[in-house]
Structure 1
Amino acid sequence: MGALDGKVAVITGGASGIGRATAVRFAAEGADVVIGDLAPGDDAVAEVEKAGGRAVYLRTDTTSEDDCEALVAAAVDRFGRVDVGVASAGIATAAGPSNVQTRAGDAANATHVVNLATETFERVLDVNVVGVMQTDRALARRMVAQGSGSIVNIASSAARIPLAGAAPYCVSKAGVWMLTKVLGLELATTGVRVNAVGPGYTATPMIDGIEQQPAAFASAMSITPMNRLGRPEEIAAACLFLATDESSFMTGQMLHPAGGQFTG
């Protein structure tokens, strides 16, 4: 038996990176998976099905309240319930990709707050905080009605580590962490748990090419004692733990698969 046999999981950002790895791992553990993403989901659906699960894809913009509600409704319509939700959709910058490469060579401090356009700040918070809140809310409403469920938010080690030039990302992920704690507290007696995973630097499309950029890679590794990037599958394993009853006495917490970033 798999750890998620008979369970139904909704995963935003499930078409690539951590979300996709989590969808595949959940399917291998017996779950049916509903993937929400702005990116096309055919390949992710095929991979989930290859792993042994049934899969549904719905184009989802998590900054849209209606899209978040529709995603959860689609899961219920197709599979009858929602047992696990993973809010993985997120961006590093208003442009999308991480700015770790840009920051490594930013002698003019162009990415610092004093030079930051308000709309660039707002865009990251809209996706990373409001989008996660709306995803969590849609999931929680259904789960509370069921009397059970586990929500896992993808935050970041940047929720706790200030990175010069990355204020929108750091602030947004700190917001995800606090949202997790508050929602976990609010739902503590309902049978619904809310936790977070805060990865360190992980080999996803968000930082694609960083290993070929010595200054950027050195910057990332300077705060990563294991001196390597994480793998999406390693983050998915942490999500799996929080999704199952193995973590049944945990809520409002954040796990850090981050290569030892918090050993100090």
Structure 2
Amino acid sequence: MAGALRDRVAVITGGAGGIGRATAVRFAEEGADIVIGDLAPGDETVALVEKAGRRAHYVRTDTTSEADCDALVAAAVAEFGRVDVGVASAGISSAATAAERQARVESDAGHVVNVSTDAFRRVMDVNVIGVLQTDRALARQMLAQGDGGSIINIASTAGKIPLAGASPYCVSKAGVWMLTKVMALELATTGIRVNAVGPGYTTTPMWDVPEDSPAHRQAMSITPMGRNGTPDEQAAACLFLASAESSFMTGQILHPAGGQFTD
């Protein structure tokens, strides 16, 4: 797919690391200029995009702020003149630290009957409201341009597989998947395509549990290929959905997930 995004402009939230960073680099390798929105510093991603021969711009963005999402897209237009592709990759697995998440997997502390409403709400705010506000800002700009575009939401297999102790994450990712389908239907006649990538367990800062841990063993028990995915593998799925290779696809979800769904 060499040059699949030549001279396109892509906005990527969560682009400072993980799947977002890998997607930014892959898109740049395929010819796109990149605008990175993240709360974390984006210097490293900017450098990687520029190393790939394309331009990059970082905007500090809290996707739970509608004003920040609108400002991110406005900055992309000011910097590069338009927006062709958007990837809503910003997300969190829980409001807990990595150590707290591991402890909750090994107990019932994260079960619905015990999880705090504030913790549940925080995940929903980032993973659902943040994606909504990102997608809306992208779609409004694409509608104004009048020549279509591609919006890609990062969901998860957890949106379809209930995981004990992870109710906020599972529910939020199911929400992302339904939001994707509704927006795809609403925008189908405009040339704006809305699809999702639903990763399985992927080696990122979000999934940082030791291989000898109960959490990792449980994850591999439902992953037939028996390994974690990589951010680059998720980025490849995003590239397909961003490119003309998927021009007749909208309202769909791809699962680079090591065989978690084989039906």
Class of the TM-score when normalised by the shorter of the 2 chains:
over 0.9
What per-residue deviation string (whole Å, max 9, x for no partner) do you get for residues 86-144 of structure 1? 000000001364976334411xx111000111000000000000000000000000011
Aligned to 1:122: 121
Find the residue that maps to 2:189 and give its secondary structure. Answer: coil
Find the residue that maps to 1:183 and give its secondary structure. Answer: helix
Aligned to 1:204: 204
Structure 1 residues 132 and 98: CA distance shift in structure 2, 3 A: farther
State the distance in 2 between where 1:175 and 1:256 align. Answer: 16
Shift of 1:145: 1.4
Query: Does the CA-based 8 Å contact 2:86-2:151 persist in structure 1?
Result: yes
Which moves more between the two structures, 143-152 or 197-206? 143-152
Which stretches of structure 1, 4 residues or longer, exceed 2 Å deviation after superposition?
95-104
Q: Over the residues paired in the alignment, what is the CA RMSD in angstroms?
A: 1.3
Shift of 1:207: 1.4
Shift of 1:217: 1.1
The percentage of aligned residue pairs carrying the same residue is 74
Aligned to 1:158: 158
Structure 1 residues 86 and 232: CA distance shift in structure 2, 3 A: same
Structure 1 residues 25 and 17: CA distance shift in structure 2, 3 A: same
Structure 1 residues 96 and 16: CA distance shift in structure 2, 3 A: farther
Find the residue that maps to 1:113 and give its secondary structure. Answer: coil
Compute the TM-score of the two structures, normalised by the length of structure 2.
0.96
Aligned to 1:134: 133
Aligned to 1:144: 143
State how many pairs are aligned.
Answer: 261
Q: 5+ residue gaps in structure 1? A: none
State the distance in 1 between where 2:39 and 2:182 align. Answer: 28
State the distance in 1 between where 2:123 and 2:67 align. Answer: 19
Query: Does the CA-based 8 Å contact 2:224-2:258 persist in structure 1?
Result: yes
Matches within 5 A, 1:103-114: 103-106=104-107, 109-114=108-113
Find the residue that maps to 1:57 and give its secondary structure. Answer: strand
Q: 5+ residue gaps in structure 2? A: none
Structure 1 residues 100 and 253: CA distance shift in structure 2, 3 A: farther
Alignment of 1:167 onto 2:164:
no
Aligned to 2:260: 261
What per-residue deviation string (whole Å, max 9, x for no partner) do you get for residues 142-190 of structure 1? 0111221000000000010000110000000000000000000000000
Find the residue that maps to 2:113 and give its secondary structure. Answer: helix
State the distance in 1 between where 2:131 and 2:99 align. Answer: 19
Find the residue that maps to 1:9 and give its secondary structure. Answer: strand
Residue type of the partner of 2:136? R
Which moves more between the two structures, 141-150 or 89-98? 89-98
Aligned to 1:189: 189
Find the residue that maps to 1:114 and give its secondary structure. Answer: coil
Find the residue that maps to 1:184 and give its secondary structure. Answer: helix
Alignment of 1:243 onto 2:220:
no
Compute the TM-score of the two structures, normalised by the length of structure 1.
0.96
State the distance in 2 between where 1:101 and 1:237 align. Answer: 29
Structure 1 residues 99 and 129: CA distance shift in structure 2, 3 A: farther
Alignment of 1:33 onto 2:27:
no
Alignment of 1:74 onto 2:71:
no
Query: Does the CA-based 8 Å contact 2:209-2:216 persist in structure 1?
Result: no
Aligned to 1:19: 20
